[in-house]
Amino acid sequence: MSERAIDVPGGRLHVVDEGDPADPPILLLHAGIADLRAWDGLVPRLISRGFRAIRHDARSFGRSTTDDIDFSDRADVVAILDACEISRAVLVGNSRGGRIALETAIEHPDRIAAVVALASGIGGFDGDVTPVEKALIDEMDALESAVPMDPAAIADVDIRLWVDGPGQPPTRVSPAIREAVRGMDEPNYRADRVEGRPIALEPRAVDRLAELRCPTLAVAGGLDVSEISQAADLLADRAPDARAVAIPDVAHMIAMEAPELVADLVVDFVEPLMPWR
């Protein structure tokens, strides 16, 4: 395993690179309530099956930093590929990371061999919500508007919404997963955090899904918020080479809940595309 800091305009990215450098590379993009540690269960399973796994903390998450500037998450992905001397990679992204993966594949099609979008939204797409989901979202909005914010209270709602799943009991997921997410999520709401300003893809991805040239797999959990399965179906309908898969008994943090199953899905999906570099 190698760890390194990659300088990008106005920021520095913490990157972990594991596996044989000669193996096909997979770049993992974490969710907005997590950092690269969310992939701890998946990475060894990918490596054992013959893949190189690279993951990083996005700007202002985990050990990565940014100045208060406009920046492109998509350009950061390409910068990591360049620094790791990778011409093409498979992107596996969860939630926010899945959205970035899709948008990077649209903007830089020659660099991306395939995308696996785990519980991913689509830029510019707003799905329907249930009353239970709306209540949690409204509670989150109120907490984020409070001055000062209460990071622990916000993390509690994030866990109920994204880890447990809307309306699910707190005992559904192991305490280890809930506390791991809490440890990654609470720092995102500290008062001194510098986030920068991500530059949105324009036109938005929802209107550009036909431009996705690479094979794409959208994975939705049956216990996740409604928009996620709606986005997966939309992606499968509009992208030229995409399909959707539903996993009934998981919520938003799919790779943390079911790393073996996700490893199987990823490997089965990308093996026919080998080799890529």
Output the pLDDT for position 277. Answer: 77
Residue with tokens 């690479």: 214
Same domain, 235 and 120: yes
Q: Which amino acid is at 178?
A: R
Output the pLDDT for position 37. Answer: 98
Q: What are phi and psi of 200, to 5 degrees?
A: -70, 145
User: Is the pLDDT higher at 1 or at 128?
Assistant: 128
pLDDT (tens digit per residue) in 211-263: 999 999 999 999 999 999 999 999 999 999 999 999 999 999 999 999 999 99
Same domain, 7 and 117: yes
Same domain, 97 and 120: yes
The CATH number linked to 216 is 3.40.50.1820
Q: What are phi and psi of 20, to 5 degrees?
A: -75, 125
Banded model confidence at residue 1, pLDDT cuts 50, 70, 90: confident
> 3-state class of 230 per DSSP?
helix
Q: Residue 93: in which H helix or E strand, if any?
A: strand 89-94
**pTM for this one?**
0.97
Which among 189, 208, 228 is the end of a domain? 189
Banded model confidence at residue 28, pLDDT cuts 50, 70, 90: very high
Same domain, 72 and 7: yes
* Mean of pLDDT over the chain: 97
